[in-house]
Structure 1
Amino acid sequence: MIRNVLGAVLALAGAAAAVLSPFRDWYDGRLGRHYRLGDLFTGTGATGTQSGGLFGSLWLPFLCAAVVTVLGVVLRSRTLVALAGVVVLGFTVLWMVRVFQVTDSLAVAGDGSGLDVGVALAAGGGVLMLLGSATMSGRRRMRGREPEYGAPDSSAPDTWPPTREPGPSVQTSPWPEPEGDDPYVGPDNPGPHRGPPSPPSG
């Protein structure tokens, strides 16, 4: 329980950082939402020109990753949370590759001309999601129920009362116990204390 709570906190914090990152500076004073999503998959590289709107920028995959993270936390699914972290880190690394193709540099400069806090938020958010996934214990598998014993029936007359010990169950005689010291005493069974039966008369 504690591991699930701690993992959920880490995952949600990472999702919040990833969603916030496009609204901070990424490179040379440009916001992350100014980078078009389509430029990451073409040979033109990432130019940082504002076009395509918010849903056409880096913010879209990060928003989808945040939604998947929330679902993973609610369902206690480590796989969904880990998948969201991989998506955030994947798009961050892909952006860095495209920017390097254009600028030939990915330095961190103190004057804001290099990598900025937005990239750190995105990368840190992805790492937090992966840490949250690793911390969560996930769902516990339900153990199989033990078989329930029913009332005795004609097909199994010697299974009641139920017993869990191996071997045949103990069954008492269905006939009532006779009173006295000599059970089942009769003409054909005189018992241990009687003599042989007398012959019939003439």
Structure 2
Amino acid sequence: MLRNVLGSLMGLIGAAAAVWSPFRAWYDGRHGRDYRVQELFTAAGITDHKPALLGSLVLPFVFAAALAVAAVVLRSRLLMALAGVVVLGFAVLWTVRQGQAAGSLSVGGDGQGLGDGVANAFGAGALILLGAAVMRGRPARRARALPPTTTTAPEP
């Protein structure tokens, strides 16, 4: 039971950090909510167009947080791991696309380069996956033993 509580707590903290990450700076002071989800999957790549809130990177992270909450309610390690993979997958996909658009990625303490939002997303995904690893999940259902049946040969 303690493992389920710890895993659930880690997953929920990770889910909260994942939802919070798009509201932090991701690259050159630009927040994650300023990147459209479609930009990650099109040939145009990262652009300067500002999307609606639910058309931005907030959407996949809210979806992953909902998966994590459902995993806690259902005590499902698989759903928790899926939530972590969604967060890490979108963070990695964004990093690759941003690197393609900028030519290279940089890290700087002066607000230039990668920001805290990306670190929050990667940390959140790792924490959710760690929560899935710690969770024990539901106990396996045991099949009830049926009473022995006697079979008799039919009389001729």
Alpha-carbon distance between aligned partners in 1 of 2:90 and 2:127, rounded to the nearest angstrom? 15
Cross-structure match for 2:152 = none
Taking CA–CA contacts closer than 8 Å with sequence separation of 6 or more, which of the two structures ends up with the larger relative contact order? Answer: 2
Alpha-carbon distance between aligned partners in 2 of 1:111 and 1:56, rounded to the nearest angstrom? 29
Q: State whether structure 2 residue 113 is matched by structure 1 residue 120.
A: no
Task: Describe the SS at the equivalent of 2:26.
Answer: strand
Cross-structure match for 1:101 = 100
- Quick one: which amino acid aligns to residue 49 of structure 2? T
Following TM superposition, where does structure 1 have runs of at least 4 consecutive aligned residues deviating by more than 2 angstroms? 142-149
Once the two structures are superposed, residues 113-149 of structure 1 have per-residue CA deviations (whole angstroms, 9 ceiling, x without a partner) of 1000000111111001100000000110132334569
Once the two structures are superposed, residues 91-111 of structure 1 have per-residue CA deviations (whole angstroms, 9 ceiling, x without a partner) of 000101111111112111011
Once the two structures are superposed, residues 4-62 of structure 1 have per-residue CA deviations (whole angstroms, 9 ceiling, x without a partner) of 000001100110000000000000000100001111101112124313x0010000000
Alpha-carbon distance between aligned partners in 1 of 2:46 and 2:36, rounded to the nearest angstrom? 7
Aligned length: 149
Alpha-carbon distance between aligned partners in 2 of 1:147 and 1:103, rounded to the nearest angstrom? 66
Indicate conservation of the 8 Å contact 1:47/1:99, yes or no. no
How do 1:15-164 and structure 2 match up within 5 A?
15-51=15-51, 53-147=52-146
| Structure 1 portions without partners, runs of 5+ | 150-202
- Quick one: which amino acid aligns to residue 63 of structure 1? V
- Name which of structure 1's ranges 121-130 and 98-107 shifts more when overlaid on structure 2: 98-107
Alpha-carbon distance between aligned partners in 2 of 1:58 and 1:80, rounded to the nearest angstrom? 20
Q: Which structure has the highest helix share of the two?
A: 2
Alpha-carbon distance between aligned partners in 2 of 1:147 and 1:38, rounded to the nearest angstrom? 55
Alpha-carbon distance between aligned partners in 2 of 1:14 and 1:119, rounded to the nearest angstrom? 13
TM-score (norm 2): 0.90
- Quick one: which amino acid aligns to residue 69 of structure 1? A
Task: Describe the SS at the equivalent of 2:107.
Answer: coil
How do 1:174-189 and structure 2 match up within 5 A?
none
Alpha-carbon distance between aligned partners in 2 of 1:46 and 1:17, rounded to the nearest angstrom? 23
Alpha-carbon distance between aligned partners in 1 of 2:22 and 2:56, rounded to the nearest angstrom? 8
Task: Describe the SS at the equivalent of 1:26.
Answer: strand
Alpha-carbon distance between aligned partners in 2 of 1:43 and 1:144, rounded to the nearest angstrom? 53
TM-score (norm 1): 0.70
Alpha-carbon distance between aligned partners in 2 of 1:148 and 1:43, rounded to the nearest angstrom? 64
Alpha-carbon distance between aligned partners in 1 of 2:29 and 2:48, rounded to the nearest angstrom? 10
Alpha-carbon distance between aligned partners in 2 of 1:43 and 1:88, rounded to the nearest angstrom? 22
Task: Describe the SS at the equivalent of 1:115.
Answer: coil
Cα distance 1:148–1:41, how it changes in 2: closer, same or farther (>3 A)?
same
Percent identical pairs in the alignment equals 59
- Quick one: which amino acid aligns to residue 125 of structure 1? A
Once the two structures are superposed, residues 157-176 of structure 1 have per-residue CA deviations (whole angstroms, 9 ceiling, x without a partner) of xxxxxxxxxxxxxxxxxxxx
Alpha-carbon distance between aligned partners in 2 of 1:22 and 1:124, rounded to the nearest angstrom? 13
